[in-house]
Amino acid sequence: MHLAHSPDAPGQEQIDFEWFLAVDIRVGTILSAEAFPEARKPSYRLVVDFGPGIGTRKSCAQIAANYTLAELPGRQVAGVVNFPPRQIGPAMSEVLVLGFADAAGEVVLFAPDVPVPNGSRLF
Q: Is the CB of residue 24 less than 8 Å from the CB of residue 82?
A: yes
Question: pLDDT, tens digit, for every residue of 13-63?
Answer: 999 999 999 999 999 999 999 999 999 889 999 999 999 999 999 999 999
Question: How far is it, in rounded angstroms, from Cα 15 to Cα 111?
Answer: 24
Question: How far is it, in rounded angstroms, from Cα 23 to Cα 42?
Answer: 27
pLDDT over 60 (residue 2): no
Question: pLDDT, tens digit, for every residue of 61-84?
Answer: 999 999 999 999 999 999 999 999
Question: How far is it, in rounded angstroms, from Cα 98 to Cα 36?
Answer: 18
Mark 45-78 as b/e (b = at least 16 C-beta within 10 Å). bbbbbbeeebebbbbbbbbbeebeeeebeeebbb
User: Count H helices, E strands: the chain?
Assistant: 1, 9
pTM: 0.92
Question: How far is it, in rounded angstroms, from Cα 86 to Cα 97?
Answer: 13
Question: How far is it, in rounded angstroms, from Cα 105 to Cα 74?
Answer: 25
